[in-house]
Amino acid sequence: MEHFLSMGGYGPYIWSAYGFGAVVALWNIWSALHLQREALERARRRLAMGRSEENDHGTR
C-alpha cells in the first residue's frame, strides 16, 4: 500500500493532479445542480407572484 501511494517518489505530484481533477469534477456537479435548482426556484416564485413584476434582471 505504501509502495502504491509513494508512486516511485512521484506520489505528491500524482495525487495532487488526481485530487484536483476530482475536486473540479465535484464542483461541476454541485454548480450545475445549483444553477438548475436556483433557476427552477426563481421560476416558481415568479409563477406564484403571477408574473406581475419585471424587476428580475436574471442576475446573469
Partner 1 sequence: MGKDVGTWTWFHKLASPPHFYRIAGRMIPWFAVPAAILIVASTYGGLVMAPADYQQKDAFRIIYVHVPAAWLSLMCYMTMASAAAVGLIWRIKLAHALAAASAPIGASFTLVTLVAGSLWGKPMWGTWWTWDARLTSELILLFLYLGYMALRSAFDDLTRADRASAVLALVGVVNVPIIHFSVVWWNSLHQGSTVLRKGGPAMPAEMLWPLLVGALGYTFLYAALACIRVRGEVLIRERNASWLKELEAA
Question: For binding to partner 1 (CB under 8 A), which residues are involved?
Answer: 4, 7-10, 13-14, 16-18, 20-21, 24-25, 27-29, 31-33, 35-40, 42-44, 46-47, 51, 56-58, 60
Q: How far is the CB of 46 from partner 1 (least distance, A)?
A: 6
Instruction: Report the nearest approach of partner 1 to the CB of residue 50 (Å).
Output: 11
Biggest distance spanned by C-alpha atoms of the chain: 65
Where are the extended beta strands (E) located within the chain?
none
Closer to partner 1 by Cβ: residue 2 or 4: 4
